[in-house]
Each structure stands twice: as C-alpha cells, then as structure tokens.
A and B are shown apart, each in its own frame.
Chain A
C-alpha cells in the first residue's frame, strides 16, 4: 500500500489567497483526520471524519477553514482567505476501526504551508 498521500508537499502563498490541501487515505480505512503542527502549539486535531461524515470539527480554528470528504478515497482542507498565522505543517491521517480500541493512525508526509 502507498500509505496516506498528501498534496501538495509544499505550498507558498500570499495572504488572502485560497489554499486547498488534498489527502488520499489508505484504502479500507474508515476514519480520516486533519491535523496542524506548529512549534508553538504542537500537533492539533482540526477535524475528523468517519465513513465520510464529519464527526468532530471543534478543532477548526475559524470559519476560514473548511474540510470535505466527498468519498472514501479523497478529502480536502481549504483555507479561505489565508493568513500568515496559518503557516504550519498540515497532516492527514487515516485509521481503521479495529474493535479493540487501538488507535493506529497512519500519517501522511504532511503539507508545509507558508503564507506570506
């Protein structure tokens, strides 16, 4: 399996522009997570989906952030308009319900976003 795939790997944009991050989870996984990682705040859960349905979006910082999962193999995280404080590494992760309570979340390589 190719693992979780994210694109782009790097994104540099100017303040006010729309940014779209993309994620392809591991086939057969029913959970998908979006995280943001910064030096100051560490790794923060933004939103997660189960069977393509958003379950908890309490970590989404503002209305400027939105996420969709139109099907089991694709999800997007959009920031509109972007601001310099959105600069971070954004990770997508996926997992499969095991029934044992184990939480092996498989992370993608991340998208490094810089907003100028």
Chain B
C-alpha cells in the first residue's frame, strides 16, 4: 500500500464548476501538506501549503487538512480552462525529514469552456 493515495482521474468539468481533489495517507507522522500543480511538459509548482490540520484559502483555492481522518482536499471555485493541469498532493513529516516529500499519483484535471 502506498503512503499517499490519490485518484488519478482524469477529471473533466465545465468552466465555472467547483472542483474537489483529494488525497488520503497512512503515515501519521506527516505534518506538512502541499498541493503542486503541473502543466503538461512542465515541472510541478507549489500551489498551496498547510501545516497540520485546518483550512487555508488563497483566491479561488482552498486547502483542507483533516489529520484525524488522514485526508486532505483542494477545492477550486469558479474553475477556469487555465486550471487544466495535473494536481499532485505532497506531504512530509516534521523534524529531520525536512525536504523529503512524498507525492500522490496526481489527478489530471480538464476544465472545458
């Protein structure tokens, strides 16, 4: 069993829809949670970062972490065609494991006009 599970999709939605992307994990030591966005033929780029449980909002994006359920989510409101990309969740433990990220498989999202 992988430490981080993410539904690869693909997910196709109409412009303006609310998108929900999710990851589950098994390692209770994970404390830092991130979402990276990867456009086709490009490297991933950091989109959202959350420490421990709670919500974080940035414009149309909201990241949620539920450590009790070992479940994280990314919501995209008013989705745009420019949001079409692969979204990867990533996480790591605290302490000396700085830098060692474990990524989900990635979810391919297409937003059509």
Tell me if A110 counts as interface (CB < 8 A to partner B).
yes
Determine if A43 and B44 form an interchain contact, defined as CB atoms under 8 angstroms apart: yes
Chain A interface size band reads: 20 to 34
Q: Tally the A-B contacts, defined by beta carbons under 8 Å.
A: 60
* 22 A-B pairs whose Cβ atoms sit less than 8 Å apart in the complex: A31-B98, A31-B99, A33-B99, A42-B88, A43-B44, A43-B88, A43-B106, A45-B100, A45-B102, A45-B103, A50-B99, A55-B99, A91-B44, A101-B51, A102-B32, A103-B49, A103-B99, A104-B49, A106-B45, A108-B43, A109-B41, A109-B42
Distance in angstroms between the alpha carbons of A97 and B99 in the assembled complex = 9
Determine if A102 and B49 form an interchain contact, defined as CB atoms under 8 angstroms apart: yes
Tell me if A95 counts as interface (CB < 8 A to partner B).
yes
From A45, A55, A101, B101 is in contact (CB under 8 Å) with: A45
Minimum CB distance partner of B6 in chain A: A42
Determine if B44 and A107 form an interchain contact, defined as CB atoms under 8 angstroms apart: yes
Tell me if B109 counts as interface (CB < 8 A to partner A).
no
Tell me if A105 counts as interface (CB < 8 A to partner B).
yes
Tell me if B21 counts as interface (CB < 8 A to partner A).
no
Determine if B101 and A107 form an interchain contact, defined as CB atoms under 8 angstroms apart: no
Tell me if B34 counts as interface (CB < 8 A to partner A).
yes
Determine if B32 and A95 form an interchain contact, defined as CB atoms under 8 angstroms apart: no
Determine if A42 and B105 form an interchain contact, defined as CB atoms under 8 angstroms apart: yes
Across-interface contacts of B51 in A (CB, < 8 A): 101
Tell me if B77 counts as interface (CB < 8 A to partner A).
no
Given A42-B105, A45-B100, decide whether A101 and B43 contact each other with a Cβ distance below 8 A: no
Distance in angstroms between the alpha carbons of A99 and B70 in the assembled complex = 25
From A44, A50, A55, A93, B43 is in contact (CB under 8 Å) with: A93
